[in-house]
Amino acid sequence: MTAKRGADLLAQSLKAAGVRRIFTLSGNHIMPVFDAALSAGIELLHVRHEASAVHMADAYARLTGEPGIALVTGGPGHANAVSALYTAQMSESPVVLLSGHAPNNQAGMGAFQEMRQAEMTLPVVKAAWTSASTDSVGEDVARAIVSAMSGRPGPTHLSLPTDALEDAASVSAPPAAAFTAQAMPLADRDAQALMERLRRAKRPLILAGPASLTRAGRARLAALEEASGIPVVGMESPRGVNDPSLGAFAQMLAAADCVLLLCKRLDFTLKFGQAPAFDAACEFLQIDAEAAEFQRCRNALGARLTASITADPVSALSALTRAAQAGQVPAGTWRNDVNAAIRYRPPAWDTAVSKEPGRLHPVQACRPLQALLDSHPDAVLISDGGEFGQWAQACLSAPNRVINGPAGAIGSALPFALGARIALPEAPIVTLMGDGTFGFHTAEIDTAMRYRLPFVTLIGNDARWNAEYQIQLKAYGPERLVGCELLPTRYDLVAAAFGAYGEQVGTAEQLPAAITRAQASRLPAVLNVAIDGVPAPLVKR
């Protein structure tokens, strides 16, 4: 069926791609799309800030494996959305940002909110461009979705001029097959050669990047480790080798003699492959979907990089697992030693308490939430913030986890929670964030109330930007602390003002019952907990 307008062609194309919902904020340029989405039966989830729409689409994409679609208006609305794309980019999340745009027939004339949108977006996406005509809209949507899902997943952007949306279309939407991601397979002979080299090593490791840290990706990593007997470790934290959720792994990493980078960037999170994070003689093997990553490794490692092979992470894991199943599992205790290091947490955490009345140590605030996460096979842990977010990741585990990723940008947790609730309607959604990060998108509690999207949020409230506080304290001393202080605001009352559930928790003993009440409320729930402003944990044995 030929679409009536470009907006109808857009909606029909999204429908053909299997898109069921769009995260959006209204604006002049995209009103035709709102109208067309109603006709196509696509749900519009209307948010309070354009960056939130992107963050929600990001969490939704990571949890479902589907492309997350965000739709915003042009000009300032588009600009508001761009910053959130960086978190999606670094987390390797297949998000598509659709932005309204000044009409093509007024290009360069100073049209309302005219802006060089694609150029603004390019640094934080895999591809960005503007539809040239009404009839190109469907093919443009297919290209954006396929690019986002193929190779190393990541966000893409398409700007939609208003005349391209409003003018009559003369073509139909592309078929469903046009939206299929393009595989980049790893040849079996290459997989076999890589596994043979790893088996010859005494202390081999396989390091995987963020794209493999979805729930399905973690299952694939576990299957490869079981088949090969080689430790397979996923890395997605901005703390990199010092990620507290990986326990004392940094000490094992430094002992490795052969490392396969399985679509894991050799960047700041791996200290660029240099000593002392790695042994100076450690050999590197690499699988990646992007030529730029091969050059990055060659520049950093020189002759220590002995293999660079092109493949996407899903295809590579499948081929490596088949190759591993055809060989023998290495003898020795290396795998068990690595996993024991990752599980390690200092015994002192078990008795950690605050020295100040009315406050909790971060461990006391985090650990009681594990029971809720253990109560459902699809539970979701969301963590955001500087120091407190790291404590949360170190203390808690869940079948699904969504964090701010290597970007290290804070502010995404509340919209992440909404995207997670849409993705998994029945599972507990447990969100931990610092008081600083809560301030970025507080108004999304309004969105949660309008769409009846319950979750449990615990705010670790130390009344400061603690990450920056710790940096200043260490680098400049206690007399040079500036710009880090916040008010000890009652964020539970802020939530209650939106009609949500809010509760102030003053002691560790009160917390389990408060969590139960929050979950039972079936509302967006905020537990405000005063905590010690301690540094993030650095786990060592």
Token pair 């390091």: residue? 207
For the chain, 541 residues long, the average pLDDT of each consecutive 10-residue run is: 86 97 96 96 97 98 98 97 98 98 85 90 98 97 98 98 96 96 97 97 97 96 97 96 96 97 97 96 97 96 97 98 91 95 96 93 98 98 94 97 94 97 98 96 98 98 93 94 95 98 97 98 98 93 87
How many angstroms separate the CA atoms of 274 and 254, rounded? 10
How many angstroms separate the CA atoms of 25 and 80, rounded? 11
Give the chain's mean pLDDT: 96
In this structure, the strands spanning 128-130 and 156-161 are: parallel
DSSP string, 403-418: E-GGG---S-HHHHHH
Residue 115, class by beta-carbon neighbours within 10 Å (0-12 exposed, 13-18 middle, 19+ buried)? middle
Short-list 432, 433, 460, 457, CA closest to 445: 457
Residue 35, class by beta-carbon neighbours within 10 Å (0-12 exposed, 13-18 middle, 19+ buried)? middle
pLDDT at site 112: 80
| 188-343: CATH number | 3.40.50.1220
Parse the chain into domains and list their residue ranges: 6-179, 188-343, 347-530
Q: Do domains 6-179 and 188-343 have the same CATH topology?
A: yes
pLDDT tens digits for 434-488?
999 999 999 999 999 999 999 999 999 999 999 999 999 999 999 999 999 999 9
pLDDT at site 1: 57
pLDDT tens digits for 278-312?
999 999 999 999 999 999 999 999 999 999 999 99
pLDDT at site 385: 86
How many angstroms separate the CA atoms of 260 and 489, rounded? 47
Q: Decide yes or no: CATH 3.90.1560.10 for domain 6-179.
A: no
CB 33, CB 165: distance < 8 Å: yes
pLDDT at site 355: 87
How many angstroms separate the CA atoms of 409 and 118, rounded? 22
pLDDT at site 2: 66
pLDDT tens digits for 110-168?
888 889 999 999 999 999 999 999 999 999 999 999 999 999 999 999 999 999 999 99
Q: What's the pTM?
A: 0.96
Residue partners of 262: CB distance under 8 A and separation at least 6: 206, 207, 208, 209, 212, 232, 287, 313, 316, 317, 320
| 347-530: CATH number | 3.40.50.970
